[in-house]
């Protein structure tokens, strides 16, 4: 069995543990060891859904050759920062897909991808590295999700949509076909996106409109 350490012990960390448990009910493949958090966010030995906080990145340095890593931190920019730390110490990453998710054989996945329960992905879909697809999302044909994209629960992505690196889409948003959402943009919960979205912006509403612009590189701060 592959041993797994989960970066992040919050709500989505517990949901990722649920994905692992569901996979093991079908076939015993994974051994979840526990959670990796910086000391200001949790004390080693504290149990989270019966699994311990193992420690911080110092624990990973000592154990990186024995475990696979998944990052269960929801916001794309924070996940990006944590993954860069993990890459520097040469961690290995694993994909986790809930057994109730439906993926055709025409879906390609990067590494460190998490797909949770109830999702449907159809044809010629490209998923980058460290992408999160949360509960009950649908992704249509010819969609491209670049690295570090986050789809919150209940997002519906129509065909031929491209999302750039680090895009974050809030709960229940709908993205119409042939739209490009550029790097490090945010789509608010419940929004309906009818046109292309510039990089480093926040879009909300029906139809979605830009309400905020950020400086390039904001995700690094």
The segments of the chain whose pLDDT lies below 70 read none
**In the prediction, which pLDDT does 106 show?**
98
**In the prediction, which pLDDT does 53 show?**
97
Burial of 63 from C-beta contacts in 10 A (0-12 / 13-18 / 19+): middle
**In the prediction, which pLDDT does 163 show?**
98
**In the prediction, which pLDDT does 51 show?**
97
Sole residue written with tokens 């309906």: 192
CATH (one of 3.40.50.300, 2.40.50.140, 2.160.10.10, 3.10.180.10) for 97-206: 2.160.10.10
In CATH, the architecture of 2-94 is: 3-Layer(aba) Sandwich (3.40)
Among the options 77, 98, 130, 141, which is catalytic? Answer: 141
- Confidence (pTM): 0.96
Strand partners, 197: 181
**In the prediction, which pLDDT does 23 show?**
98
**In the prediction, which pLDDT does 41 show?**
87
CA distance 165 to 63: 29
Residue 141: active-site member = yes
Select from 30, 90, 31, 32 the least CA-distant residue to 57. Answer: 90
**In the prediction, which pLDDT does 59 show?**
96
**In the prediction, which pLDDT does 39 show?**
87
What residues does each domain of the chain span? 2-94, 97-206
**In the prediction, which pLDDT does 52 show?**
98
């Amino acid at each position: 069995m592959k041993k797994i350490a989960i970066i992040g012990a919050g709500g989505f960390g517990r949901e990722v543990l649920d994905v692992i448990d569901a996979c093991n009910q079908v076939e015993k493949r994974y051994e979840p060891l526990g959670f990796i958090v910086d000391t200001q966010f949790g004390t080693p030995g504290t149990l989270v859904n019966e699994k311990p906080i193992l420690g911080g990145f110092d624990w990973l340095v000592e154990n990186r050759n024995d475990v696979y890593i998944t990052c269960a931190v929801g916001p794309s920019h924070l996940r990006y920062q944590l993954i860069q730390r993990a890459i520097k110490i040469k961690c290995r990453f694993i994909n986790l897909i809930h057994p109730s998710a439906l993926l055709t054989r025409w879906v390609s996945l990067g590494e460190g991808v998490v797909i949770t329960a109830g999702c449907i992905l159809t044809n010629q879909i490209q998923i980058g590295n460290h992408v999160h697809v949360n509960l009950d999302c649908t992704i249509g044909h010819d969609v491209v999700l670049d690295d570090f994209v986050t789809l919150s629960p209940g997002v519906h992505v129509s065909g031929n949509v491209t999302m750039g690196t680090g895009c974050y889409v809030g709960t229940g948003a709908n993205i119409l076909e042939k739209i490009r959402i550029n790097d490090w943009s945010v789509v608010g919960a419940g929004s309906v996106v009818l046109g292309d979205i510039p990089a480093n912006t926040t879009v909300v509403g029906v139809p979605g409109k830009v309400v905020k612009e950020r400086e390039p590189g904001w995700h690094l701060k």
